[in-house]
Chains A and B, each alone.
Chain A
Amino acid sequence: MTANPNEILREDASGQVLIRLRGEVDLSWTQDVRRAVLAAFDAGKPVGIDLSAVDYIDSSGIAALVEGLQKARAQGLGFALVAPSAAVRAVLELARLDQVFKIVANAAALTAPA
């Protein structure tokens, strides 16, 4: 394990913004995640949060995703979770939010018609 295994990558494409998260989302890191998620809407494009490399997420991390969803709704933009890992899915199910979020298998599905 490296000193700081957590990582946020932002990928701006023509039709969307993708935020790739890697590591464990807990209280030590959620503020950074929250800022990155909210900032992604600046481009005025649909936003995807790639959670395939997230090994752990707690309620503070889920709260950051919920804030993203609320902002997307307010701005009328698309918002989806991309390929959440099993660990993330388990917590989404526990929070009964797996039906609330739009969950897609890959980034390409972000801009596909629903």
Chain B
Amino acid sequence: MTSPRPRVVAAPAPEASARADDALAFLAELSRSLAVSLDLQQTLSEVITRLRDFLGVEGIALFLFDARREVLECRICSGPVDVAGMRLAPGQGVVGRAAAEDATQLVTDAANDARVWRAADEATGFATRSLVCAPLRTAAGPIGVIEIVNRRDGRPFSSADARLLELVAAPAALAINSARMAGELLEQQRLKREFDLARHLQKSLLPRRRRDDFPVLGVNRPAHEMSGDFFDHFELADGRIAFVIGDVSGKGLDAALLMVRAAGLLRWIGKQGLAPSAWLAQANQELVETVREGRFVCVVVGYCDRAATRVQFASAGFPPILVHRDGQWSEQIADGPPLGIVAGIEFAQHEVELGDGVFYAFSDGATDVRDANGARIGLEGLRALIDRHAQQSPAARVRALLGDLRRMHLVDDTTLLLIQAPQAELPELLYTRVLPARADALRALRVELRAAFDAQHIEPTLRDRLVLAVDEACTNIIRHGYGACGEGVIALRALRHDAVLTIELVDSAPLTDPARLKPGTLGECRSGGLGIAFIDTIMDQWHIEPLADGSGNRLVLCKRIESWSHAEADEA
């Protein structure tokens, strides 16, 4: 660093004792201003300008390590020669030594000190007489070095100067570190926003669940932010329904990007209505030409008719297809290699008479799930899980299955596609019980209902309110329905249909006049009508109707459960 010879002598340095007092005030002021700065460049300029003036030096420079800690780069300097951008290896020159040894270096006579790297002066034409370098220390080691060169009064730096530089280096290092961390945090937040956008976009590429009589149902659960799995279904002009389920090798962002490409390609080819074998052959050709670095795509493609009586499909390296029919399982193992590896492959084609059976295709994330002993559950484990929920409607079965898999621990992207003849979607029975219409039966009912609602992940506040509504309904039937006419029973069922909870209470009491069931006004200090008012407030809808044969009443309470709506949206 530089000052052409003969040097210009600047204002004399302050006296030592006055300097010590000033130093404290200066440090306090510097720390205060550094503490509020989160902008690195601004932070560095402040440090440099203030220090140069305060210390009365000709040159000052701040070197910081690069991200990989391989190079010390001068990020900012102030003095007759601009050395910003100068790069030093750790250990190189006095600056490099201060960093490598994590120790302050004082050079009183630069011309005769072996530590000095002379090439710097030769390059700049500057004459360094004396210098001090102090490491910028953090808990994780030095992040750089601060260097001062040549006192303006011409005297060499003393050990008091070195101590002073050490003192100011501490808050400077802290401020630089904070600014860096703030910068990293901002960058992380930006990346997260980008990731969220990408995830939403990727999810939006999957088809939404069809509510009409549609035979194909798919779900996808990414193991991380992005998924390498996908599924698709769409209708052709001739009435056939095309389906795709695939799994791209690898995980993470690169797999997700290839997934987007593969899914688009397979959909585009599938729209032509080619036979499944030709569909795969064409997609394979295209992917072999464009996919790099040993990536590949495992996939099943095929068609079914609207009634799902017959499924035609071809597989490329995908896990076996499972068909469940009349209580029997059959497997169809993939006979073609994954797409994107070898050109000119022919894929075999299969056809299954489905009848009232179910066609399942699972990505390997489902079979890779670990059981309690840490072993893969495999196809056998998966079949056992499906058997447990076989009686449920497709949507409820898929939900239950995913719930089981998640509880066991999903390690990979998991996707499943199910084909089954459409049927009127039956509500899922959550709880059923016939209880005596007596007040002393209510406590046990409440305990069981709470457990049933907990099992359905209904949050506790809502759960307790629902239990209260059912309790009030039973109380009403006991007091006013059966009342004087003695004992009877209440048949209670709790059902789930999509995101709606329905509770049905059937009694054999004399017919109730619905007009008699008027909710009281809440907040009024009256003891009547409160139970109906509770039901009215807690539930979305309720009504009472006579049984068709006139043998009693049916009270129906309905409530949309928001958390169930969210879960449905996730599956769509």
Q: Which A positions have Cβ atoms within 8 angstroms of B? A: 24, 26-29, 56, 58-60, 62-64, 66-67, 69-70, 87, 90-91, 94-97, 99-100
B531 within 8 A of A: yes
Given known contacts A27-B439, A94-B534, A95-B530, is B468 in contact with A100 (CB within 8 Å)? no
From the candidates B438, B523, B526, B531, name the one contacting A60 in the complex (CB within 8 A). Answer: B531
B82 within 8 A of A: no
B404 → chain A closest CB, angstroms: 31
Chain B window 515-559, contacts with chain A (Cβ cutoff 8 Å), 1 for yes, 0 for no: 000000011011110110110011000000000000000000000
Q: What DSSP secondary structure best describes chain B's contact surface? A: helix
With the chains together, A62 CA to B461 CA distance in Å?
Answer: 19
From the candidates A28, A62, A67, A97, name the one contacting B440 in the complex (CB within 8 A). Answer: A28
From the candidates B443, B525, B527, B530, name the one contacting A26 in the complex (CB within 8 A). Answer: B443
Report B-chain residues with C-beta under 8 Å of the C-beta of A67.
Answer: 527
A111 → chain B closest CB, angstroms: 23
Report B-chain residues with C-beta under 8 Å of the C-beta of A100.
Answer: 523, 525
Report B-chain residues with C-beta under 8 Å of the C-beta of A66.
Answer: 525-527
Flag if B464 contacts A63 (CB, 8 Å): no
- Nearest CB to that of A27 among chain B residues? B439
- Nearest CB to that of B438 among chain A residues? A28
B479 within 8 A of A: yes
Query: Which residue of A24, A58, A62, A91 has the most chain B CB atoms within 10 A of its CB atom?
Result: A58
Given known contacts A59-B472, A63-B530, A94-B465, is B442 in contact with A27 (CB within 8 Å)? yes
From the candidates A26, A29, A63, A70, name the one contacting B471 in the complex (CB within 8 A). Answer: A26
B138 → chain A closest CB, angstroms: 47
B421 within 8 A of A: no
A58 → chain B closest CB, angstroms: 5
Flag if A91 contacts B527 (CB, 8 Å): no
Given known contacts A27-B479, A28-B442, is B523 in contact with A97 (CB within 8 Å)? yes
Flag if B475 contacts A58 (CB, 8 Å): yes
A54 → chain B closest CB, angstroms: 13
Report A-chain residues with C-beta under 8 Å of the C-beta of B530.
Answer: 59, 62-63, 95
Q: Which B positions have Cβ atoms within 8 angstroms of A? A: 438-440, 442-443, 446, 461, 464-465, 468, 471-472, 475, 478-479, 522-523, 525-528, 530-531, 533-534, 537-538
Q: A58-B471, A95-B523 are in contact. List 10 more A-B contacts (CB 8 A).
A: A26-B471, A58-B472, A58-B534, A59-B475, A60-B531, A63-B527, A66-B525, A91-B468, A94-B534, A94-B538
Flag if A90 contacts B461 (CB, 8 Å): yes
With the chains together, A70 CA to B527 CA distance in Å?
Answer: 10
- Nearest CB to that of B537 among chain A residues? A94
- Nearest CB to that of B527 among chain A residues? A63
Given known contacts A63-B528, A67-B527, is B534 in contact with A26 (CB within 8 Å)? no
Flag if A27 contacts B478 (CB, 8 Å): yes
Report A-chain residues with C-beta under 8 Å of the C-beta of B533.
Answer: 59, 95
Report A-chain residues with C-beta under 8 Å of the C-beta of B461.
Answer: 90
From the candidates A24, A58, A69, name the one contacting B531 in the complex (CB within 8 A). Answer: A58
Flag if A27 contacts B523 (CB, 8 Å): no
A22 → chain B closest CB, angstroms: 14
From the candidates B440, B446, B523, B537, name the one contacting A56 in the complex (CB within 8 A). Answer: B446
B68 → chain A closest CB, angstroms: 55
Report A-chain residues with C-beta under 8 Å of the C-beta of B464.
Answer: 87, 90
B440 → chain A closest CB, angstroms: 5
**Nearest 3 pairs of A and B residues by beta carbon:** A96-B523, A63-B527, A28-B439
With the chains together, A99 CA to B538 CA distance in Å?
Answer: 20
With the chains together, A91 CA to B530 CA distance in Å?
Answer: 11
Flag if A58 contacts B468 (CB, 8 Å): yes
With the chains together, A94 CA to B520 CA distance in Å?
Answer: 13
Flag if B522 contacts A96 (CB, 8 Å): yes
With the chains together, A108 CA to B446 CA distance in Å?
Answer: 34
Report A-chain residues with C-beta under 8 Å of the C-beta of B478.
Answer: 27
With the chains together, A95 CA to B472 CA distance in Å?
Answer: 13
- Nearest CB to that of A63 among chain B residues? B527
Report A-chain residues with C-beta under 8 Å of the C-beta of B471.
Answer: 26, 58
**Can you name 24 A-B pairs with beta carbons within 8 Å?**
A24-B443, A24-B446, A26-B439, A26-B442, A26-B443, A28-B438, A28-B442, A58-B468, A58-B475, A58-B531, A58-B534, A63-B527, A66-B526, A70-B527, A90-B465, A94-B522, A94-B538, A95-B523, A95-B530, A95-B533, A96-B522, A96-B523, A97-B522, A97-B523
With the chains together, A69 CA to B471 CA distance in Å?
Answer: 24
Report A-chain residues with C-beta under 8 Å of the C-beta of B440.
Answer: 28
- Nearest CB to that of A23 among chain B residues? B443
B417 → chain A closest CB, angstroms: 44
Report A-chain residues with C-beta under 8 Å of the C-beta of B525.
Answer: 66, 69-70, 97, 100
A113 → chain B closest CB, angstroms: 24
B271 → chain A closest CB, angstroms: 55
- Nearest CB to that of A99 among chain B residues? B523
